[in-house]
A = this chain, B = another copy of it.
């Protein structure tokens, strides 16, 4: 009996959704979000765009599959131990580091709803919240708060990465940002000016973790 799963290969390098997704990830990682076009993909796979569409519904489908693949790997490697709170920190940092390595993942997570990748993150976070003893009625809210914070950071990091390369002098760039923010009237932006001074030597990853801790502290008050 020959079922569909064990069909012999059409060619040695036959096309498949997995191969296409793998190639897409390579392009995205190497040359950035804008470089992923069906033409570039077809060239890399030595085929035509029509053949790709046989395996993939459209570009959004492709990007969601690529994002899901990355998040799956991250979730498989995250070590959950040392108590639920630290497990949540580990999960969140896993996502953060993945976004740092693959900025396009951040853009995709932040801009596409109800993705498979989101389901994975939500599940992992939710289980740790249960282990943390969060009352059932508050679990959904707590999980979605953590998730939305992560998605917010994801979008900003992806956007910031899009700017890198175009910007050579970091401090000059940050100064121009501050200038733009206080453009209307510097005296109207005391807090932004205070923060702008800290912007130069702040660590995105550490600030991300501080945010997670803040939400965890809030969750701690629920009991």
Contacts and interface: CB of A to CB of B under 8 A. Distances in A.
A99 to B, nearest CB: 13
A43 interface: no
Contacts of A218: 213-221
Contacts of A159: 111-113
B153 A148 contact: yes
A144 interface: yes
Nearest to A163: B113
A188 B76 CA distance: 13
Given A192-B119, A202-B140, A110 B152 contact: yes
B148 A152 contact: yes
Contacts of A123: 181, 188-192
Given A155-B111, A159-B111, A195-B140, A119 B149 contact: no
A195 B126 contact: yes
A107 interface: yes
A152 B222 CA distance: 22
Interface in A180-222: 180-183, 188-192, 194-195, 198, 202, 207, 210-211, 213-222
B107 A189 contact: no
A221 B217 contact: yes
A93 to B, nearest CB: 15
Contact of A180 (B114, B177, B211, B214): B114
Interface of A: 107, 110-114, 116, 118-119, 122-123, 126-127, 130, 139-145, 147-156, 158-160, 162-163, 177, 180-183, 188-192, 194-195, 198, 202, 207, 210-211, 213-222
